[in-house]
Structures are given as structure tokens and as C-alpha cells.
Structure 1
């Protein structure tokens, strides 16, 4: 087997392992979030607002990687559930912020630590040092792939 074939075999194997791991972790994430009556996108919006504060609607989609059409739908659903509210920007009336309501803050206060624990448990197969190394290596893969695609 040539060196090139070994490299291709390893690349394909790594891709398969990363894809299967991603699918498994996303299913654990999905299942856990469903326990709280939310979907992953709704949770991502609440988590963003919880950790970063009120955000312009236009920026939320960029931060959690969903389209502007989808973000409007999600914001509407969360607003109907009483978990967030829209607030106009005082400096620029064209800009609308999404902010957690008290009910939204209480919910994410209650569920975020449990969700973090669920994900921590799922990743306990690695030591903290191995996690740091994995973060570094997976970032390196992503940056290289992004620059060379």
C-alpha cells in the first residue's frame, strides 16, 4: 500500500469516526434538551442570551449558525412561551433585541447546569488533558478544511 493510500485510508477513517461521534453526541444533546420542552435551536438561543445578554435578532442567527428566517420562527416560539421578549434599540429603532424574560432566566438557570452535567458525563471517556488535546486537534481540522475548501 502506498503512502498516499495510507493517508486516504486514515482520512476516511477519521471522517467516519468524527461523523459517528458527532451524531451520538447530538442525539444525547437532543434527548436531554427535549426533557425541558425545548428543541436544540430554542435551547441555543436561550443559552446565548443567558451567557451573553440581550442580542440583536440579526446577530443571533450568526452566533448559533441558523438562517434569519429560522431565527424569526424560533424567536416567535420562545416569545409565545414567555421565555424571551423583543426590545427595540433606543439608538436605532431598526434594531430589535431579544432578551430573556424572568421566566426564561429562571428556566435556563434551572436547566443549564443539568444539561452541562449530561454533556460532561457523555465526554467522561477522556481525561481533561485529552479533552484539551481533542479541542486543539478538532479546531485545527476545521480551520484547515475551511481555508482549503
Structure 2
């Protein structure tokens, strides 16, 4: 059984926490830049690819659920979805008081081309870690930020 987390109380604990936070942030930024460059080859931004990937995995997802999954505002999702809809990659379907999201054939095609490339990129990005270390990292990150989504 583990004990409940406690806030750092000593200078040493604070320094360790700041170092962990800084390294996590730098790693995230470096990986994000590579990811953005990769999806740019498909005419997408990273956010646009994330939206297509979420909708491909969950057709009928609402805009509100998408905003929650992406940790962005509803307004941001509305703007991004409108851009993808104008490009013919995504469509909104009214469902009561909300909209459900669905890929168009063109959106599915671009997702199907970009997703394997993204998977290969992420495999290369994490190749320095063994499968066990990758699982451990995932478990540690889940402890830092628990979510109810299936990964």
C-alpha cells in the first residue's frame, strides 16, 4: 500500500520537484517539435492531427468531450473543428444540444496516411527506453495526472 502524496517540505525536495518538472517540460517540448514537423508533411498542425486522431478513434465524439480530452477550451475546439470542416476533413452532426464529430472520407484518408508515420516517430522517440521502462514511465505519468480515458 502506498502512502498519500505530500507536498515537498524541504529545500531538497523542492529542488528535486523543480528539476523533474523542468526535465519533463523540456522533453515534452522537444518531442512536440518533432511531432509538429512530422504532421506538417500532411498539411496538418499538431492540434489538427490530434483532433483527427481522437475522432477517428471515437466517431461521434462531442466537441465538449474532445475539448476535455485535449485539455483545451471549448472555443479552441470550435475554432479548430471549423477549420477542419472548411477543409472537408471533418463534419459536425447535430445531436440534441451538441454536435458529434465524424471524419469525412478525405479526413479518414489523411488520418490513415499520417497515423502510421506518427506511430513510427513515437517509437523512435522512445527507443532509448526499454519496453519495461516505457511501461514504468507511463505508470508514473498516470500517477502524476490520472485520467479516466483508456490508453
Runs of 4+ in 1 over 4 A off after TM superposition: none
RMSD over aligned Cα atoms? 1.7
Supply the distance in 2 between the matched residues of 1:44 and 1:86 (Cα, whole angstroms): 16
The alignment's TM-score, normalised by the length of structure 2, stands at 0.83
Match of 1:105 among 104, 108, 117: 108
Larger radius of gyration: 1
TM-score by length of 1: 0.84
Q: Which runs of 5+ in 1 are unaligned?
A: 144-149
Normalized per residue, which structure has more helix? 1
Are 1:16 and 2:16 matched, yes or no?
Answer: no
In structure 2, the residue matched to 1:60 is: 66
Cα offset, 1:138, TM superposition: 2.1
- Specify the alignment match of 2:99 in structure 1: 96
Question: Across the two proteins, how many residue pairs are aligned to each other?
Answer: 138
- Partner deviation per Cα, 1:43-71 (whole Å, 9 max, x = no partner): 11100111111222222211211111111
Does the CA contact (< 8 Å) of 1:54 and 1:100 recur in 2? Answer: no
Structure 2: state its 5+ residue gaps: 1-8, 147-151
2:5 corresponding residue in structure 1: none
Task: Give me the whole-angstrom Cα distance separating, in 1, the residues matched to 2:54 and 2:32.
Answer: 18
